[in-house]
A and B are shown apart, each in its own frame.
Chain A
């Protein structure tokens, strides 16, 4: 089965908040990540959260982590049409501190922003 699960689609109106949810399986993951993929482009790190944190805010982005439920969410405030993309949640179950970052990605959530 999937190690990292996300809903596949989300549609919001411009100016509203978007919330993308993710569940992961490996409680040993030291970091959890959100990557963004725009059409025809590579993945770009959007934000990350260290596993001993439960919230991280970065401008319009808020990441919430519930370790007990292994649930991660990404909230985008004041969503803009330029935020339309696929958002991937990723965990790092094999992090060793020595530079091994074998990330496990979800299938991605396609965010569509309606003008």
Chain B
């Protein structure tokens, strides 16, 4: 597709459940980022992939959060034992990687609601 695609757009789950959020970046973009945006806040960095490897996962809040990008394209953010505080919009972005001006191309996000 032309832009970053995220699915699902909305996910409602119960506390304690497992959730997977998917991101399909722009074709050819080697860098992929996950951000989390809580209500009334700016996006907060979670994890950054360069190719298949997680180059920086310093933003993941705890070990319930994990992300993979096995083939260097699509990425999945996995949240175990969800808590109400995990409710937020999870944004995925991609960029060409090397060089450039640092523009990140964002998807529309996956809104997660934990009841």
Contacts and interface: CB of A to CB of B under 8 A. Distances in A.
A13 B45 CA distance: 34
Contact of B102 (A40, A48, A106): A48
A40 to B, nearest CB: 7
> Which DSSP category, helix, strand, loop or mixed, fits chain A's interface?
loop
A100 B48 contact: yes
Nearest to A90: B42
Interface string A91-110: 01011011111111111100
Specify the main secondary structure of chain B where it touches its partner.
loop
Contacts of A40: 108
| Chain A: interface size category | 20 to 34
B4 A42 contact: yes
A101 B102 contact: yes
Contact of A99 (B30, B42, B45, B107): B30
Interface of A: 4, 30-31, 33, 40-45, 48, 50, 88, 90, 92, 94-95, 97-108
Interface of B: 4, 30-31, 33, 40-45, 48, 50, 55-56, 59, 91, 93, 95-109
